[in-house]
Amino acid sequence: MSSDAGGTAELQPVREQLAQLGISSLLAIPLSDGQDHIGVLILTQDAARGWHSNDVVVLKTLCDQIVIALNNAGLRRLVKSLSVTDEQSGLLKRSSYLDLLMAETKRAIQQSTPVTVVLVQFGRLPVMLKEHGESRIEDAMQQVGQIFSANIRQNDLAFRYEINSIALILGETAEREAALALEKLRKLSAEITIGDGEAFTFSAGIAEAVVRQQFDSADVVTEVINRAELALDMALAQGAGRFVPLAAQFASAAVA
| Of residues 239 and 14, more confidently modeled | 239
Residues of the chain with CATH 3.30.70.270: 87-253
Query: From CA 53, how far away is CA 172, in angstroms rounded?
Result: 31
Q: Contact, 191 vs 184, CB < 8 A?
A: no
Q: Contact, 166 vs 156, CB < 8 A?
A: no
Q: What is the largest CA-CA distance in the chain?
A: 81
At the second CATH level, the architecture of 5-78 is 2-Layer Sandwich (3.30)
Q: CATH number of 87-253: 3.40.1160.10, 3.30.360.10, 3.40.640.10, 3.30.70.270?
A: 3.30.70.270
Q: What is the pTM of this model?
A: 0.71
Q: For the segment 187-222, what is each residue's pLDDT rounded down to a tens digit?
A: 999 999 997 788 899 999 999 999 988 888 999 999
Percent of the chain with pLDDT over 90: 50
pLDDT at 7 over 50: yes
Residues of the chain with CATH 3.30.450.40: 5-78
The string over 189-228, giving b where at least 16 C-beta atoms fall within 10 Å of a residue's C-beta and e elsewhere, is beebebeeeebbbbbbbbbbbbbeeebebeebbebbbebb
37-51, 69-83, 125-139, 144-158: which has the minimum mean pLDDT?
69-83
11-15, 18-22, 240-244: which has the minimum mean pLDDT?
11-15
Q: For the segment 90-149, what is each residue's pLDDT rounded down to a tens digit?
A: 899 898 899 889 988 988 988 889 999 999 999 999 999 999 999 999 999 999 999 999
pLDDT of residue 15: 76
